[in-house]
Chain A
């Protein structure tokens, strides 16, 4: 058992619209207050919640569901447990140590991200850092994460990386094809919002607490699957937003491949036992 830290750099290769709500009719990006020597500033960030789901749980679980041929065979509760963490719904919650031990043995990815069975919470052992925008205001935070690698010269301020997009949605009135159309006036809808510009970079990372190399392999395999399927975070991916290009700081490609091989082989070897465990938990 070891504790590993995996540090990453993600470069925005399309506008990032990880939003937190709306102001008027404009969607605004998620920002967090940061205390700097010039007072409190609100800087864009990527939430750990989004990173955990999009980068780790979702791609990893989708692969397992396909590899275990579970597509169409799972109940909604089972699917929610695997893909979204599930819910504690029974009043008779309990602590079943054997069940936890079996989960740790059979589902390295679940050991990482945890979840809740109807009658038992299963803690995960993966801490996911927030995505910290590489900008001058974040220097003190970045220095702690990437000690010694930050240039001494001043970085662009955060506002350099924020801009706005505006799109329009058409109206079929212009086609004149609707059978109930009385007037030809089109009702074009304009919608807009803030985004983090292409070229921005985020430093983020993962801490795997007291894990084996199988869990580390599960993490890398999920990250690879996520990148291979577009690597998006936030909204508007259907309109080309949210794409990140991921780089790893501490692991070379050879080690990464070795760990992924180990994990995928193991996951396929324990397929029957893993599926049986899942069915038993939801019996």
Chain B
């Protein structure tokens, strides 16, 4: 008998604590927070063509950007947005000089630094769950910007 362990019992309080780990953090965010997350994700991706590595083929640029985002998302655990951005930049062999001088990228980073951990985490997760829509919006934004500057 002693060699067969007992089954762990849960009090109602312990049971509630177990289930607390299953709460969806996205649902804790307000609709405004969620919109901010989406807008910032699009803004970030729309910056990437401007810093895209010179040595890479620009004909496959959006494919490489998608792939860099996927890899960065897979490598990032938690809400470390700086690590995530670094991984994306590595994935597209970003020009460091251009990246450090890019005003919009600086704004993205500054906004993320103002956000709480939950919202930053949700921002990173957004790339894992909404990558294609983000790419579509970002590409449109980038195209509009390019045409404007002509």
- Chain A residues packing against B (C-beta within 8 Å): 9, 11, 134-136, 146, 148-151, 153-157, 160, 199, 201, 220-221, 223-225, 227-228, 245-249, 251-253, 256-257, 260-261, 264
Contacts and interface: CB of A to CB of B under 8 A. Distances in A.
5 contacts: A9-B15, A155-B19, A199-B21, A245-B8, A247-B10
Contacts, number: 83
A151 B20 contact: yes
B110 interface: no
B18 A153 contact: no
Contact of B15 (A149, A157, A225, A256): A149
Given A248-B7, A249-B12, 5 more contacts: A146-B15, A155-B22, A156-B23, A256-B7, A257-B6
Nearest to A200: B22
Contact of A224 (B6, B20, B21): B6
Interface in B83-136: none
> Top 5 nearest A-B pairs by Cβ distance?
A154-B27, A156-B24, A247-B10, A253-B6, A153-B23
A149 B16 contact: yes
Given A151-B19, A247-B18, A223 B7 contact: yes
A8 to B, nearest CB: 8
A136 B8 CA distance: 26
Interface string B1-32: 10111111110100110111111100110000
Given A251-B9, A256-B9, A224 B4 contact: yes
Nearest to A264: B1
Contacts of A150: 19
A264 B21 CA distance: 37
A160 B128 CA distance: 12
A245 B5 CA distance: 12
A228 B5 contact: yes
B22 A248 contact: no
Contacts of B6: 224, 253, 256-257
Nearest to B6: A253
A156 B22 contact: yes
